[in-house]
Amino acid sequence: MNFASNIRLVNQQENSGTLSTRILGIMSATGQYVIQFDPDDSFTSNTILEQLSEHIPQGKDIYHFHELWLINNKSLTDRDRHNNEGMKWANPQDYIQDYEIYRKFAISKISGLVHGKMIKTTVYQQAARFLENMSTQHIVYVDDHLLMFSVCMIAKSYQALNITGYIYNINNESILGKLSSKINSAKKYIRDNRVVLSYIYETMFNRVLPGTNQVQQSYVRDTGQFMKQMLNYDVKTRFMLCRNAYVPFIRIEEYFKMINDMCGNRIEWDQSQMVCFEEDQ
């Protein structure tokens, strides 16, 4: 097959999951910015890329634009969709930077979805390297949330744009459309992980960490409070929140290590008391 010189075809020989595929594409990118685009989705017009490219000279790490959700041919705005799920969105034209990016992401004021975002390639690739060697690359659900989790820890600048440019299509044959058939196993998984989350909160986040800086302490407190609140919600709400907290989708040892690294290796825990669960095959 012949393509234009600015088109690069990446062939993944072995199907190792959606996250692995996204990482392969990100690491193969050569342009200044990356936009993730699903094959059954579309832009709202043929001028969207031109509109977005006007912002590239400003050099922000993340540009976030709005999307429309087409759910079984019924259209919803991104705000309607996420407000229905109890999420809050950053307002158009919001500009935030540094730790505030991850803080807003952690409390769902920034969506964890990769679509509707134009992200600087160097930031994306650094985030992808963080996930490259994790044992979760086979996952096909919330792979975008894992990427945004990593991106928002690394990014230094975020700009929300008042542009509606992406149409996200969900139908009975799409991955998200089939999510309802997995809900019972997901509920059980969250109930199991509730023990782990309780342990994390009680042993790590419910104490002051001497010697850590204000940002690191704030990160620990915010995350701990988020987990504590999550344990008080009903199972359905916990499923939605847990999908955005990422804990069930990262091996618990890796999550401990990640938090510990961010806090200067000042956290100690008794691994013999940790409760771990086998991943679904």
Q: Is 259 inside any structural domain?
A: yes
pLDDT confidence of residue 125: 93
pLDDT confidence of residue 59: 94
Pairing outcome for strands 62-71 and 74-77: antiparallel
Let me know whether 113 and 146 are in one domain.
yes
199 vs 202: CA distance, rounded Å: 5
Last-in-domain residue among 170, 198, 224: 170
Task: Please report, for the chain, how many H helices and E strands are present, in that order.
Answer: 10, 7
Let me know whether 26 and 131 are in one domain.
yes
pLDDT confidence of residue 68: 76
Domain count within the chain: 2
Let me know whether 70 and 163 are in one domain.
yes
Q: Is 3 inside any structural domain?
A: no
Let me know whether 165 and 241 are in one domain.
no
Let me know whether 117 and 39 are in one domain.
yes
Let me know whether 238 and 159 are in one domain.
no
Q: Is 165 inside any structural domain?
A: yes
Q: Is 223 inside any structural domain?
A: yes
Let me know whether 149 and 211 are in one domain.
no
Q: Is 279 inside any structural domain?
A: no
Last-in-domain residue among 170, 196, 221: 170
**Conformation bin of residue 86: beta by default, left when phi > 0, alpha when psi is -120 to 50:** left
CATH of residue 148: 3.90.550.10
Q: Is 1 inside any structural domain?
A: no
Let me know whether 210 and 108 are in one domain.
no
Let me know whether 222 and 247 are in one domain.
yes
Last-in-domain residue among 108, 140, 170: 170
Q: Is 13 inside any structural domain?
A: no
pLDDT confidence of residue 99: 84
Q: Is 159 inside any structural domain?
A: yes
User: Residue 47 is part of which domain span?
Assistant: 18-170
Nearest to 157 by CA among 235, 97, 219: 97
Let me know whether 35 and 165 are in one domain.
yes
Give pLDDT tens digits along the chain (281 positions).
Answer: 565 666 777 776 677 777 888 888 899 898 899 998 887 788 888 898 899 999 999 999 999 988 777 766 665 655 565 554 444 455 555 889 988 888 888 777 787 888 889 999 999 999 888 887 665 556 666 778 888 888 998 899 999 888 888 887 776 555 555 554 454 455 555 555 555 555 555 544 444 444 444 544 454 455 555 555 545 544 444 444 444 443 433 444 454 555 455 445 544 444 443 333 333 33
Let me know whether 60 and 193 are in one domain.
no
Rg of the chain taking only CA atoms, in angstroms: 19
Let me know whether 231 and 253 are in one domain.
yes
What ranges in the chain are assigned the alpha helix state H? 18-28, 48-53, 78-84, 99-106, 121-132, 143-154, 183-200, 214-231, 235-245, 252-262
